[in-house]
Amino acid sequence: MLTRIDHIGIACFDLDKTVEFYRATYGFEVFHSEVNEEQGVREAMLKINGTSDGGASYLQLLEPTREDSAVGKWLAKNGEGVHHIAFGTADVDGDAEAIRGKGVRVLYDEPRIGSMGSRITFLHPKDCHGVLTELVTSAAEH
Protein backbone atom coordinates (compact mmCIF):
# COMPACT_ATOMS: atom_id res chain seq x y z
CA MET A 1 0.00 0.00 0.00
CA LEU A 2 1.32 3.43 -0.93
CA THR A 3 1.18 5.50 2.25
CA ARG A 4 3.07 8.73 1.68
CA ILE A 5 4.88 11.03 -0.69
CA ASP A 6 8.41 9.90 0.07
CA HIS A 7 10.08 12.51 -2.09
CA ILE A 8 9.90 14.82 -5.08
CA GLY A 9 12.89 14.49 -7.39
CA ILE A 10 14.17 17.80 -8.80
CA ALA A 11 16.75 17.86 -11.57
CA CYS A 12 19.38 20.60 -11.48
CA PHE A 13 22.58 21.53 -13.30
CA ASP A 14 24.54 22.52 -10.17
CA LEU A 15 23.73 20.65 -6.96
CA ASP A 16 25.68 22.95 -4.65
CA LYS A 17 24.00 26.10 -5.98
CA THR A 18 20.57 24.48 -5.80
CA VAL A 19 21.15 23.27 -2.23
CA GLU A 20 22.13 26.83 -1.34
CA PHE A 21 18.91 28.18 -2.90
CA TYR A 22 16.75 25.83 -0.79
CA ARG A 23 18.74 26.70 2.33
CA ALA A 24 18.70 30.47 1.84
CA THR A 25 15.11 30.69 0.62
CA TYR A 26 13.30 28.16 2.81
CA GLY A 27 15.76 27.15 5.52
CA PHE A 28 15.88 23.49 4.40
CA GLU A 29 19.14 21.78 5.32
CA VAL A 30 20.80 18.77 3.69
CA PHE A 31 19.82 15.65 5.65
CA HIS A 32 21.88 13.28 3.52
CA SER A 33 23.89 13.32 0.29
CA GLU A 34 25.39 10.57 -1.83
CA VAL A 35 26.40 9.54 -5.34
CA ASN A 36 24.45 6.70 -6.98
CA GLU A 37 26.62 5.55 -9.90
CA GLU A 38 24.05 3.06 -11.17
CA GLN A 39 21.48 5.84 -11.52
CA GLY A 40 24.06 8.41 -12.65
CA VAL A 41 23.19 11.00 -10.02
CA ARG A 42 24.75 13.07 -7.29
CA GLU A 43 21.94 13.86 -4.89
CA ALA A 44 21.00 15.74 -1.75
CA MET A 45 18.01 14.80 0.39
CA LEU A 46 16.34 17.72 2.20
CA LYS A 47 14.02 16.45 4.93
CA ILE A 48 10.72 18.31 4.87
CA ASN A 49 8.79 16.59 7.62
CA GLY A 50 8.33 13.42 9.55
CA THR A 51 10.05 10.89 11.68
CA SER A 52 13.08 8.64 11.42
CA ASP A 53 10.95 5.45 11.09
CA GLY A 54 10.90 5.57 7.29
CA GLY A 55 7.83 7.79 7.06
CA ALA A 56 9.48 11.11 6.32
CA SER A 57 9.13 13.26 3.19
CA TYR A 58 12.04 14.77 1.32
CA LEU A 59 13.03 16.89 -1.62
CA GLN A 60 15.60 14.99 -3.66
CA LEU A 61 17.89 17.34 -5.57
CA LEU A 62 19.57 15.53 -8.47
CA GLU A 63 22.61 16.49 -10.54
CA PRO A 64 23.64 14.08 -13.29
CA THR A 65 27.09 12.46 -13.11
CA ARG A 66 27.01 11.74 -16.86
CA GLU A 67 25.18 13.15 -19.88
CA ASP A 68 23.66 9.82 -20.94
CA SER A 69 21.99 9.19 -17.56
CA ALA A 70 18.23 9.51 -17.08
CA VAL A 71 18.59 12.90 -15.40
CA GLY A 72 21.29 14.06 -17.83
CA LYS A 73 19.09 13.33 -20.84
CA TRP A 74 16.05 14.88 -19.21
CA LEU A 75 17.92 18.09 -18.29
CA ALA A 76 19.29 18.48 -21.80
CA LYS A 77 15.75 18.30 -23.18
CA ASN A 78 13.74 20.15 -20.52
CA GLY A 79 16.09 22.20 -18.36
CA GLU A 80 15.76 22.23 -14.59
CA GLY A 81 12.57 21.23 -12.82
CA VAL A 82 10.51 18.48 -11.25
CA HIS A 83 11.77 15.14 -12.61
CA HIS A 84 9.77 12.53 -10.67
CA ILE A 85 7.54 11.86 -7.70
CA ALA A 86 8.09 8.98 -5.32
CA PHE A 87 5.41 7.20 -3.31
CA GLY A 88 6.48 5.38 -0.14
CA THR A 89 5.40 1.84 0.70
CA ALA A 90 6.49 -0.82 3.16
CA ASP A 91 6.35 -3.36 0.28
CA VAL A 92 7.85 -2.08 -2.97
CA ASP A 93 8.02 -5.63 -4.40
CA GLY A 94 4.34 -6.36 -3.83
CA ASP A 95 3.09 -2.96 -4.91
CA ALA A 96 5.23 -3.00 -8.08
CA GLU A 97 3.86 -6.41 -9.02
CA ALA A 98 0.28 -5.34 -8.37
CA ILE A 99 0.73 -2.21 -10.50
CA ARG A 100 2.43 -4.23 -13.26
CA GLY A 101 -0.65 -6.44 -13.24
CA LYS A 102 -2.73 -3.38 -14.09
CA GLY A 103 -0.78 -2.92 -17.32
CA VAL A 104 1.59 -0.15 -16.21
CA ARG A 105 5.21 -0.67 -17.26
CA VAL A 106 7.46 -1.18 -14.22
CA LEU A 107 11.00 -0.41 -15.38
CA TYR A 108 12.92 -2.94 -13.25
CA ASP A 109 12.34 -6.67 -12.74
CA GLU A 110 13.64 -6.31 -9.20
CA PRO A 111 13.84 -3.10 -7.13
CA ARG A 112 17.29 -1.48 -7.09
CA ILE A 113 19.23 0.42 -4.45
CA GLY A 114 18.11 4.00 -3.91
CA SER A 115 18.92 6.84 -1.59
CA MET A 116 19.91 6.02 2.00
CA GLY A 117 19.75 2.27 1.43
CA SER A 118 16.17 2.29 0.18
CA ARG A 119 14.79 -0.11 -2.45
CA ILE A 120 13.29 1.61 -5.49
CA THR A 121 11.62 1.02 -8.81
CA PHE A 122 10.06 3.27 -11.45
CA LEU A 123 6.86 3.32 -13.51
CA HIS A 124 7.10 4.51 -17.10
CA PRO A 125 5.93 8.14 -17.41
CA LYS A 126 4.04 7.37 -20.63
CA ASP A 127 1.82 4.97 -18.64
CA CYS A 128 1.31 7.52 -15.82
CA HIS A 129 -0.08 10.56 -17.63
CA GLY A 130 3.37 12.05 -18.13
CA VAL A 131 4.68 11.64 -14.58
CA LEU A 132 7.79 9.54 -13.96
CA THR A 133 6.70 7.74 -10.78
CA GLU A 134 8.99 5.99 -8.30
CA LEU A 135 8.02 3.49 -5.62
CA VAL A 136 10.29 3.35 -2.58
CA THR A 137 10.67 1.28 0.55
CA SER A 138 13.01 3.04 2.96
CA ALA A 139 15.86 1.21 4.68
CA ALA A 140 13.98 1.43 7.98
CA GLU A 141 11.05 -0.45 6.43
CA HIS A 142 12.93 -3.40 4.90
Amino acid letter for position 83: H
Amino acid letter for position 32: H
Residue 60 a catalytic site member:
yes
Give least dist CB 102 to Co ion, A. 22
Quote the DSSP letter at residue 128. Answer: T
Quote the DSSP letter at residue 110. Answer: S
Which of the choices Co ion, ligand V0V, none does residue 17 contact, using the CB cut-off of 5 to 8 A by kind?
none
Which contiguous run of DSSP H or E holds residue 7? strand 2-11
Residue 39 a catalytic site member:
no
Which of the residues 88 through 127 are near ligand V0V (CB under 6 A)?
107, 114-115, 118, 120, 122, 125-126
Q: From residue 13 to residue 52, what is the string marking binding to ligand V0V with x (rule CB under 6 A)?
A: -----------------------x--x-x-----------
**Which residues are CB-neighbours of 26 under 8 A, at least 6 positions away?**
none
The whole-angstrom separation of Cα 77 and Cα 38 is 21
Residues that bind ligand V0V (CB under 6 A): 9, 36, 39, 41, 60, 62, 70-71, 73-74, 83-84, 86, 107, 114-115, 118, 120, 122, 125-126, 130, 132, 134
